[in-house]
Chain A
Amino acid sequence: VRLESAREFKQEVAVEAFAARVEGLLDAAAPAEPIVSVALGVAPGTSDDDFRVAIRVPPGHEAVAEELRERVHGEADVRVLTVEARPAIPEPQAGAPPWLNEPRRPLEPGAAISLRGYGWVGTLFGFGRRKNGALVGISNAHVLGGVDRVPVGTAVLQPFGGEAVGVTAEHAPLKASGNMFDLQLFDLRRVPIVKSYNHAAGAIGRLVDVSPDDLGRTALKIGRTTGVRQGRCTAFEVDNLPVGYGAAGTLRFDNQVEFTGTPDDFSAGGDSGSMICWIGGDVPAILFAGGRSSGGQDFTYGCPALAGLRSLGIALE
């Protein structure tokens, strides 16, 4: 279908889902409408100007996915999967690259970071600069804040249990729905950093929006669990994406970008916060979640890096 048609269908279903939610508010005894659980995006079609409606549903909601597929006459890319925040996991595990899980000075993107007093580890996205010139480190809110569990000012360690390299700072607020970013900063303290570089791409380019032309495009990421992995962009403008955050519940995200690894999985637990870049170094997304489809394929989700860092007033370094 044309891009406009795919977007129009997304809008149409969003209105129906909103109506179902309102109905649920009006009558708490009413059964939950399965349509509210559907995430919709735009996936590549058979040519540069042909697209599919990306339909993502959790297990048990295959029927509503099939119904939506029929409504677009089969012009859909359907995946059944449960998406969870790439869990910030406790210790370096077997197979994790030592390079990213040992003390790295100067600090570089992809290194393992953790918090003093908390038992999990995630990945350093990279560095940014505040308007006042101060340098900050960047990762996910669920890595640096544990979804509002960790007070601002907590020491950030590199690697897990290592020396402090900064203290946690502000983050994009997380709420039940309508989220766009899982993103948090930390103020760097007394540490050397290497700028405008990551080992996946070499020189880092600019923060960029994702466009229809990027569907199918080769992407790279570097994270503390799986190191450098290659993949491709499989969907964008994914709305109403339910992401599990453990005890914090399920939060919904809009305008997300989807990737899958080629040939290996693109990411795993502990890679949360990884920088995702295109070949050439431009940076479209911050890795934060993933899941395995019923077909066994790993899908990784990133939130838009350009809009996210702009919202926090940060320029990429």
Chain B
Amino acid sequence: MRRLLALLLALALSGCGLAPTGPIAPVEPPWQPAPPEPVPIPVPPDPVPVPVPPPPPPSDVAAALDAVKVGMTEAAVRDLFSRPPVIPEAGGVRELRWWLSHGGGTTMLYVRFGTDGKVTSRGAAVVEEVP
């Protein structure tokens, strides 16, 4: 009796009906239609983005990105730069980095390699100085 009372109270508090208890067949379970989807938890709307335009890529960053081609070898990529790269050692793919300072700040140029040692992707990430 106490269990029945608890079940009824739980149903009343949770505001949902007791789901049907038929067996589940592997393909087409002969169940009643599912209860309504749970009401999604309301979330605030997307934060209004504050326009913080990154510095425009200076010509040397754009030129460096353009010079690195997918499929190049690591040696060929290194030959494009006058400085040795920084190489993060944290597992994952092999990556070479160069820091390019310019009037608009600093940009990190990164080149990523596949297991065959050839460039698979490259990109530039903006560095922002937090005051």
Contact = CB atoms under 8 A, between A and B. Distances in A.
Contact of A5 (B16, B29, B90, B127): B29
A244 B31 CA distance: 36
A245 interface: no
B129 A199 contact: no
B75 interface: no
B91 A226 contact: yes
Which secondary structure characterizes the binding site on chain B? loop
Nearest to A30: B2
* Most-contacted residue by chain A among B46, B54, B91, B93 (CB, 10 A): B91
B96 to A, nearest CB: 12
B125 A194 contact: yes
Interface string B105-131: 010101010000000010101111111
Which secondary structure characterizes the binding site on chain A? mixed
B23 A199 contact: no
A11 B16 contact: yes
A45 to B, nearest CB: 9
Interface in A89-106: 97-100, 106
A191 B127 CA distance: 10
B53 interface: no
A138 to B, nearest CB: 14
Contacts of B5: 26
Contacts of B74: none
Contacts of B3: 19, 23
A129 B18 contact: no
Contacts, number: 157
A199 B90 contact: yes
Contact of A106 (B18, B44, B52, B127): B127
Contacts of A11: 16, 19, 35, 38
B35 A8 contact: yes
A310 to B, nearest CB: 5
Nearest to B6: A23
A313 B44 contact: yes
Interface in A107-129: 110, 129
Nearest to B112: A202
Nearest to B111: A202
A22 B9 contact: yes
A310 B43 CA distance: 7
Interface in B53-108: 54, 88-93, 95, 106, 108
11 contacts: A5-B31, A9-B24, A18-B13, A20-B6, A22-B10, A23-B3, A23-B6, A190-B131, A203-B123, A227-B91, A311-B44
Smallest CB-CB A-B distances: 9 pairs: A228-B92, A227-B91, A23-B6, A228-B91, A197-B125, A19-B10, A12-B19, A133-B50, A227-B90
Interface of B: 2-3, 5-7, 9-11, 13-14, 16, 18-19, 21, 23-26, 29, 31, 34-35, 38, 41, 43-44, 46-50, 52, 54, 88-93, 95, 106, 108, 110, 112, 121, 123, 125-131
